[in-house]
Structure 1
Amino acid sequence: MKFKLGDFVRFVDEKREGYVTKIIDTQTLGVTDEDGFEIPVAISNLTSVHGHGVVAEEQDAPKPVHVNVPSINKIENGIYVAVATDNKAGNVVHFHLLNQSSNVLLFNLTTEKKEKYASVFHGVIESYQSGLVYSASLADLDLWPEFTFQIIIAGKTDVKPVDPLVIRKKFRAKDFSSEQKELPQSKKGWLIHLDDLVPITIDAQKLKESFFKSPAEKKTVDAPAKEIDLHIEKLRDDHHFLEADEILQIQLNYFQNALDAAIVHHFEKMIFIHGSGNGTLRDKIHKLISKNPNIKTYMDARKEKFGYGATEVVFK
């Protein structure tokens, strides 16, 4: 009988249960019990506990465990890894990919340790669903492999496709030093926002080519207005038919295009009107601004007119 990481198993020769948290070799597994101890156990001495795990022989390609997440509205739209602690084995944590969007995600999780790779999960995560993708012992954090999350975002509406996400993450103690949060399924643990981990990549060839362009060539982009209104009704006539995360993406794309155009045309400053609302658009814009090397500073724009609903950007 074959087992995979995260399977809930029972010892054959004694009254003890736990989760598979390490594959030691072809004959031996590491099982973490309810006391948090990881015990090397021969595979022949283990049996699967019905209802807690799926034996690998019964599914060649792992499938996500879909769950309804009614409390998810408290979480900002995006893609997350929810690292939940286990009620029975305190040191065991379960990784759930959390799809808080209206898109379908094609997902693959690969681990790497000492140049040895393992594909531990691949499957489809439907919109506003989650999938169990990995389990491990928190006590062995220093021994965890590096994780590579590969995500293809399949949109359901007439929206420009986005590039696949490839995120590499080595978990550290600081990732679990904050207070645990309430997660879906009445679990507790930590939320890691994968969208915020996407590195900013620079195309070296395009950057090199830009040095040799004349000023006229560089300014083929139309100059934007110095005051940009990002309210969706100003950008799209069909906004009534769009989901919340689609609206946010359209607003961010418009913001980025206007910002890039302003940099090309050597603007000194410009204002983005994002509204107050729940603050999501404002926070996203501020994160993008803070990472842009062409921006000197930013601040709330003319509070007497906009309140906290607009941001002024000052360029270098």
Structure 2
Amino acid sequence: MKFKLGDFVRFVDEKREGYVTRIIDAQTLGVTDEDGFEIPVAVSNLTSVHGHGVVAEEIDVPKPIQVNVPGVTKIENGIYVAVATDDKVGNVVHFHLQNQSPNTLLVSLSTEKKGKYASAYHGIIASYGTSLVYSAALADLDLWPEFTFQVLVVSTADAKPIDPLVIRKKFRAKDFSTEQKALPNLKNKGWLIRLDDLVPVTIDAQKLKESFFKSADEKKMVEAPAKEIDLHIEKLRDDHHFLEASEILQIQLTHFQNALDAAIVHHFDKMIFIHGSGNGTLRDKIHKLISKNPHIKTYMDARKEKFGYGATEVVFK
């Protein structure tokens, strides 16, 4: 019999059961019991227990969760991993991939550890659907592999196709440093981690302009941004203390791009982006994006007496 990570199994020769949390080799599995101990067991000494595990609640119509996301995104709401605890085996967590969008997702999950790759999951996740994709022992967090999610977004709407997403994630202690909370569509508590938050978002400003000529029912409303946009990470994310430098930069650039495109849609004459001085990385990235934008006439340091060299003023055509 072939087992996979997350399977609930029972020992053949003794009264004990648990979850498969490690594949040691072709003949041996690591099984974590209800006391949280991982035991190496021969495959021949295990049998599957069907109909057991962490499952989604039975609900008539799945509803999207309320999350803090930009007003205009490639994927409405987003793609998340809900890491749920297990009632019976406290040391085990279950990874549920959650599609909080109106699109259908074709997903594959592979893992990599020390140059060795393995396929962990592949399947179709319907809009606002959930699928169990992985299980592991939380105590072995430092031993977890790196995860690569490949996502193809399928939409029935009259819209430009979304580019396939490749999301690489190495889970760290900071991902589980917050208090466990109720998870959407799941019975168990745990942590909700957004996967596509670091995927760069671009908006076709011309398409959005054209939308204003549609009927009220068809029109996609874009909220006008503020005249001054503060890109300091503490203004954008409450959990900024747990973010790495690369994550912070990508979040700031995404927020910048969303605000810039919205300003173009609303025919702004000019606006100011407050990026701070720091080491100049964010400023340089923003200036590079501005210089390539056909809707921008010029840009300059904004009011040095107020911002020093920590802000850029953009003048639109």
TM-score w.r.t. the length of structure 2 is 0.64
SS state of the match for residue 185, structure 1? coil
Structure 1: 5+ residue stretches without partners: 54-63, 202-221, 225-229, 273-288, 299-311
Q: Per-residue displacement from partner, 1:148-182 (whole Å, max 9, x unpaired)?
A: 01101111110111111111111111111111111
**How many angstroms does 1:297 deviate by?**
10
- Work out whether residues 67 and 131 of structure 1, in 8 Å CA contact, stay in contact via their aligned partners in 2: no
2:144 matches 1:144: yes
CA contact (8 A) 2:104 2:155 kept: yes
Q: Does 1:73 align with 2:65?
A: yes
Q: Which residue of 2 aligns with 1:154?
A: 154
Q: Tell me, what secondary structure is at the counterpart of 2:30?
A: strand
Query: 1:105 Cα shift?
Result: 0.3
Task: Give a deviation string over 1:56-84, Cα, whole Å, max 9, x none.
Answer: xxxxxxxx989757464334521101111
How far apart are the structure 2 equivalents of 1:188 and 1:297? Answer: 48
State the aligned residue count: 241
1:104-159 Cα shifts (integer Å, max 9, x gaps): 00001010011111111011000011100111110111110000011011111101
Q: Percent identity?
A: 67
Stretches of structure 2 lacking an aligned partner (at least 5 in a row): 69-76, 226-253, 274-281, 291-299, 303-310
- Verify the 8 A CA contact 1:108 1:122 in the aligned structure 2: yes
Q: Counterparts of 1:106 and 1:139 in 2: how far apart (Å)? A: 31
Q: 1:23 to 1:157 in 2, by over 3 A?
A: same
Task: Provide the C-alpha distance between the structure 2 equivalents of 1:31 and 1:50, rounded to a whole number of angstroms.
Answer: 16
State the secondary structure of the residue aligned to 1:240: coil
C-alpha displacement of 1:269: 3.1
Distance 2:153 2:39 in 1: 39
Aligned to 2:29: 29
**Of Structure 1 and Structure 2, which has the larger fraction of its residues in helix?**
1
Could you tell me which amino acid in structure 2 is paired with residue 293 of structure 1? I
The structure-2 alpha-carbon separation of the partners of 1:191 and 1:25, relative to structure 1 and needing over 3 Å to count, comes to same
The answer as to whether partners of 1:10 and 1:18 remain within 8 angstroms in 2 is yes
Per-residue Cα deviation, 1:19-46 (whole angstroms, up to 9, x for no partner): 1010000100001111111111111111
State the match for 1:168 in structure 2: 168
Look up the equivalent residue of 1:180 and give its one-letter code: Q
Say yes or no: does 1:7 pair with 2:7.
Answer: yes
TM-superposed deviation, 1:259? 2.8
Match of 2:217 among 236, 240, 244: 240
The one-letter amino acid paired with 2:113 is K
Distance across 2 between alignment mates of 1:235 and 1:21: 53
SS in 2 for 1:120: strand
CA contact (8 A) 1:99 1:105 kept: yes
Residue 96 in structure 1 maps to residue 96 in structure 2:
yes
Letter in 1 for 2:175: D
Do the aligned partners of residues 162 and 234 (structure 1) sit closer, same or farther apart at CA in structure 2, a change above 3 Å counting? closer
Does structure 2 retain, via aligned residues, the 8 Å contact 1:11–1:45? yes
Could you say what secondary structure the match of 2:102 adopts? coil
CA contact (8 A) 1:23 1:30 kept: yes
Contact 1:93 1:137 survives alignment (8 Å): yes
* Structure 2 equivalent of residue 191 of structure 1: 192
The 5-angstrom pairing of residues 101-116 of structure 1 reads 101-116=101-116
2-side partners of 1:44 and 1:315: how far apart? 68
Partners in 1 of 2:169 and 2:270 — Cα distance? Answer: 36
Q: CA deviation at 1:235?
A: 3.2
Look up the equivalent residue of 2:138 and give its one-letter code. Answer: L
How far apart, CA to CA, are the structure 1 residues paired with 2:218 and 2:211? 15
Matches within 5 A, 1:288-303: 293-294=286-287
Q: Is the 8 A contact 1:66 1:130 kept in 2?
A: no
TM-superposed CA distance for 1:13, in Å, is: 1.2
CA distance in 1, matches of 2:193, 2:284: 19
